Structure 1
Amino acid sequence: MRIEIRGLERSFSGRTVLRGIELDDEVTTLAIIGPSGGGKSTLLRIVGGLLVPTAGTVALDDKAVDYRERELERYRARLGFVFQQGGLFQHLSARENIALPLRAVHGVAEGEARRRADELLERFGMSAQAEARPAELSGGQQQRVAIARAVAPRPRLLLLDEPTSALDPEYTSEVLDILRDLRDEGARFIVVTHEMGFARHACDKVAFLCDGVLKEYGRSEDLFGNPRTPELKRFLGKLLEWSV
């Protein structure tokens, strides 16, 4: 998928969060990394049509994102979203959390929606929890259901905003393994993450944001193996200082 971002800016209450973002490349799996408050989630949400930019444009496969609300509804329906806490419906079972959006948003028949939900639950090792509600699931299980819901309509692109940030290490590994498997099956995604091992080894490209500026962008192996800017060197150095 070709992603083209030109002159992207975003301000909140007079404070500029993103400034002059430029990116034009063919991307399969992209990790957005950087210090907290650097604009990572804001950039992801603009690409996903959840936020409107103050200035600039975004295009996927040479088609510009139209930020008028009526057009955004159609655009967002073709994407899959996973957030930090999953955003599951607490009163619905795991199966219904997957099947309901298929019926309500994508017009899938009830039987087909249920079949698709069961197929994904089995694939992600969750068949035994099909009738469980989110409160009865572990954090890792909840995120597996959230990912299953996101991929159920076969979106053109997955957008994940720190999907493991609230998880214990063992559950983090579960979720990252699923994302790696999806990548191997041809899924395309953009993920905001603090998991540097995943960004380095499971994503083909990396964007480093700091203070609302895209400081570095390129192949994962290049950014991690030979960081050019002092900001990225400092960022990676802090993360590696306490590594096992």
Structure 2
Amino acid sequence: APPPSRPPPLRPTQLSKAESGSCTISNPRKNVNESSSFPNSAQYFQSHKSVNSAARSSAMSQIDELEDFSMGRTQNNVGEHAYFLSGEGAEMNSEAAGSAAAMKEAMDQAEAKFKHAKEVRERENAKAARSKETMQDAEERELGKRQERLEQEWQPREREEEERERRRLEKERERAREIEREWEEKEEQRRRFERERGRQAVERATREAHGRAAAKACQKAERAAVEKANAEARERARRAAVQRAQA
């Protein structure tokens, strides 16, 4: 059978696949642009994980669809090119060249969109990393300021606590010195009392000894006087007896 004068039209599945691929390519760019328009705030930093994961999943879907699109168009091009080679006529060759140019342009556009999506994803990742580092630096600075405030508040309290402790220890030492002085005074009083009592005992013993000595002396003197009186009486009696005998 002679080859047809025109190449067969693209299959509906291929057209739908190409259209869906182009739509998919345009929609992720819109999503990426919309996501990149969000302000760099604390709320965005807190939700950057979900946004990055969504961006990564959309970018990966872009890449997969672009690869499927390019592979499908390449396979179709190979089949059409073989069909055109088997045909006859300059019109078929020109249409094949136009189809090849259109396919090359579509592939170039797809590659450009793929590179753009990759660059957008890299910029978003770098932006998220910078935002994370900025937030971490801010948290570290805030933590340092808080620590400094706590230290500034803690130092006066520590000095007050040290002053109170110093005064308490001074009072305890003063009380200990007072107790020691009271004990020394009581001990001195006790020693004085003991000395006074000893002195009084010595004096009492001395007086008693003197009294006993005086009593003994009196008794001795009395005995001597009695003995003397007795001797004198005996002498008078002897003389009287002698005189009576002589008479």
TM-score category by the smaller chain?
under 0.3
Higher RCO structure (Cα 8 Å, ≥6 apart): 1
| Larger gyration radius, structure 1 or structure 2 | 2
- Higher helix proportion, which one? 2
With the length of structure 2 as denominator, give the TM-score of the two structures: 0.20
With the length of structure 1 as denominator, give the TM-score of the two structures: 0.20
- Higher strand proportion, which one? 1
